[in-house]
Amino acid sequence: METFIQHARTLTARIADRSEEQETYGRLAAGQSPLALFITCSDSRVVPSLITGARPGELFELRTAGNAVPVYQDDMAACAEAATIEYAMRVLRVADIVVCGHSHCGAVGAKIRGEDLTG
């Protein structure tokens, strides 16, 4: 974990060393205009930017275990998944929504086996 913390603490300095990155992050500080909403599993082996080649600011991500998104109901309570999708569509006006599954997904495997996922 210490490696992650140290990496995060040095991000600004690392960006300062590269003018191309400075321009990108400077522009992104003013706002985002992602190309797509990318819905995928929380699994640590799934790395959307690695899969797609997307750069910072290009994907708006929604990550849940097994790509689970509650079915919409008129009387449903607010939920993070619905808020993320609504924000992507109404505010960011993403052109595309991508749902990306993956092999060996523990959550989907449990669902297929009929295990109780509510707890």
* 104: annotated active-site residue: no
Contact region with Zn ion (CB under 5 A), list: 12-20, 25-33, 41-49, 50-58: 41-49
Q: What is d(CA 28, CA 85) in angstroms, rounded to the nearest whole number? A: 20
Q: Does 81 bind Zn ion (CB under 5 A)?
A: no
Nearer to Zn ion, 41 or 62 (CB): 41
Q: What is d(CA 61, CA 67) in angstroms, rounded to the nearest whole number? A: 11
* 105: annotated active-site residue: yes
Alpha helix segments (H runs only) across the chain: 2-9, 11-16, 19-29, 48-52, 80-86, 106-112
Contact region with Zn ion (CB under 5 A), list: 7-15, 17-25, 42-50, 81-89: 42-50
Q: Does 39 bind Zn ion (CB under 5 A)?
A: no
Q: What is d(CA 83, CA 6) in angstroms, rounded to the nearest whole number? A: 32
Write down the least CB distance from residue 45 to Zn ion, Å: 8
Q: Does 43 bind Zn ion (CB under 5 A)?
A: yes
Q: What is d(CA 107, CA 69) in angstroms, rounded to the nearest whole number? A: 13
Write down the least CB distance from residue 31 to Zn ion, Å: 31
Residues binding Zn ion (CB under 5 A): 41, 43, 105
